[in-house]
Amino acid sequence: MVIQVKGAKPSRRNFLKAAAAAPLAAAAGSRAFAQDADPAIVNKQPWNQYLGDGVDARPYGMPSKFESDVVRRDVPWLTADPVSSVNFTPLHELDGIITPNGLCFERHHAGIAEVDPAEHRLMINGLVDNPVVFTMEDLMRFPRENHVYFLECAANSGMEWAGAQLNGCQYTHGMIHNVMYTGVPLRLILAEAGVKTSGKWILPEGADASGMTRSIPMEKAMDDCLVAFKMNGEALRPEQGYPVRLVVPGWEGNMWVKWLRRIEVGDQPWHHREETSKYTDLLENGQARRFTWEMDAKSVITNPSPQAPITHGPGSTVLTGVAWSGRGSIPRVDVTIDGGMTWHQARMSGPSMDKSMHRFYYEFDWDGSPLLLQSRAHDSTGYVQPTKNMLRKVRGENSIYHNNGIQTWYVTEEGTAENVEIS
């Protein structure tokens, strides 16, 4: 493969970090006989000899202390303030499709509201026959459903519109999580109030100090939206809207109103701040798309990636990543290791559900030469994930939201990886 590197070299700091990871590579290769006995085998370890904690030591368990790097991270320069801001899911450390609750990225506009469920109410008003108020106890008496859905921030990968910027899939793709929600179909709750025939839109509103509101067409409200109170089996985390949030499958995360306290029914959209000033997509001609609700098919290779270099040297190598589509499921993902000259169909593993994450793998024998890795998702509508340049041709570079372009990682001979763009 011919890879020509243009532009300046990486900074010295990054080079040193890369070098530090390299020595491991020397030990790799084909299976070899050990010269000396492995102390991990021949020496007794403390956990072989001494007693561990009892069952009463960890009433709510946390990950092993050896996993302390697996955390949400933020990028302070992205926002004016950490209260109306975002952090990122560590996708490069996860596998399968379910995001652990404590690692689900956060996006708040006025911080984490700490709501007492006993004091929380959900009001339905507007164009309904019977304006109604529910307590949490009331909501728990409706029939429930369980669904696994991804929630992706409309701005996920938004910093990458003008080019490769942040080094790691946590930062470029980590405004997403995928959990099992338990909740009540919104249509059952609306039916309790009785939507008038003139009711064409809903306005969900949050109880936090941002008073988050979005206009959602009635067709979507009646289709698959949920009023959810559990995620992955337990109560919503406060940062995810405890005690109750709206679930809007396949649609941009901003619409999944947290700390849901009111839903108004109306005959036209409200054009509030989060659907005019924000979450509208400016194109090159100065005109902006509004109501860009669906999140299009997208994928990213999570390993190898800049935060997850290859440390084992040449030989058997596992490439893996995630793919998702707001318009359906992901029957197929293609991957390339040579920058798109040749593509291979990846192996999908795990459940395939509508508007949920899918896990893919591609196992290959790395010869130790540089790699240019990409993944390309196909969704169940036949749509194929475009390149960033295909998107820029239609939209320019200023639309901020909805960047689902193909991501490239450049893997060096040392196994380190970098976020790049290629021809």
Partner 1 sequence: AESAGFGLGRPALEVEVAAWDIDIRPDGQGLPAGSGDVWTGEEVYVENCAMCHGDFGEAVGRWPVLAGGWDTLERQDPVKTIGSYWPYLSTVYDYINRAMPFGNAQSLEPDEIYAITAYLLYLNNIVEDDFELSNETFLDVEMPNADGFFPDDRADTELVAFSGEVCMERCKDSVEITMRAAVLDVTPDSEDGAATEAV
Q: Cα separation of 385 and 405, whole Å?
A: 7
Q: Measured from the CB of residue 136, what is the shortest distance to partner 1 in angstroms?
A: 11
User: What is the spatial distance between Cα 415 and Cα 25, in angstroms, rounded to a whole number?
Assistant: 8
Position 137: which residue type? E
| CA–CA gap between residue 315 and residue 328 (Å, rounded) | 36
CB of 60 to partner 1, least distance (A): 25
Min separation Cβ 44 and partner 1, Å: 30
Q: Please, which residues bridge with residue 134 across strands?
A: 122
**How far, in Å, CA of 117 to CA of 238, rounded?**
11
Smallest gap from residue 303 Cβ to partner 1 (A): 11
How many C-beta atoms surround the C-beta of residue 48 within 10 A?
A: 7
The count of other CB atoms within 10 Å of the CB of residue 129 is 10
Q: Which is nearer to partner 1, 69 or 219 (CB)?
A: 69
Residue closer to partner 1 by CB (options 272, 312) is: 272
Q: Which CB atom, from 254 or from 292, has the smaller least distance to partner 1?
A: 292
Nearest-approach distance from CB 8 to partner 1, in angstroms: 5
Of the pair 169, 322, the CB lying nearest partner 1 is at 169
Q: Which residues of 264-303 are buried (b: 16+ CB within 10 A; e: fewer)?
A: bbbeebbebebbeeebbbbeeeeeeeeebbebbbbbbbbb
CB 21 → partner 1: shortest distance, Å? 6
Report the distance separating Cα 74 and Cα 15, nearest Å: 23
Nearer to partner 1, 291 or 361 (CB): 291
Q: Which two tokens stand for residue 183?
A: 């909740």
Closest CB 350 distance from partner 1, rounded Å: 23
Question: Closest CB to partner 1 among 57 and 80?
Answer: 80
The amino acid at residue 183 is G
Q: Of 182 and 232, which CB lies nearer to partner 1 in the complex structure?
A: 182
- Give the separation between CA 355 and CA 251, rounded to whole angstroms: 9
